[in-house]
Amino acid sequence: MKKKNYKLAVLLIGWVVISLTGCAQDSKSVQGDEIEYSPAVLSENELMQQFIVNHPDKPVLKYAQADLDNDGVNDLIVIYAIARDKNMMSVLLYKESKAEETNSVPAPVSDQMIQFRNIDDRPPLEFIVQGRKGAKVGYAIFRVEKGILTDLFGEGMDDCC
């Protein structure tokens, strides 16, 4: 198990170095696309509609979609505000013609970015969330495992969420 974590850490450190030098692969060229804020998505996306039903008083700050569980249907990642300096994130999976929401986890307060990366070259698809709170910057790699949003590895997320 430690060997897997070591390999994941090495891959993540390499990705961070490449990202900081401006040579990272654009997330839109990987298996999912980050969605720009669009009223059409808020009104037409079935998973987003379910999120709004589940959280009617929580403003959506950032969202992205990709097939996270390898079932051939796009799922939806949503970062939303719960207080002035507190955000959360959850994933809505499309299962058997309905939306199932994962657990919620803390999310960065500002400058949120979601990127999809198949880090271990096998399903399910991992994604990286990064952002900041004031001068504190953080990132984490997530994966949905058996319907649970799992933080695989990260740095500084406690300070930026």
Q: What is the pLDDT of residues 6-31, one digit of tens each?
A: 555 544 554 444 444 333 333 332 33
The confidence score (pLDDT) of residue 14 equals 47
How confident is the model over 63-78, as a mean pLDDT? 94
Residue 88: strand, helix, or coil: strand
Cα separation, 66 vs 107, whole angstroms = 18
**Using CA atoms, how far apart are residues 148 and 158, in angstroms rounded to an integer?**
19
- Average pLDDT (119-124) is 92
At residue 98, the pLDDT reads 87
**pLDDT confidence of residue 128:** 97
- At residue 118, the pLDDT reads 93
Average pLDDT, stretch 115-124? 93
Query: Token pair of 155, please?
Result: 């740095």
Inter-residue contact 18 to 24 (CB < 8 Å)? yes
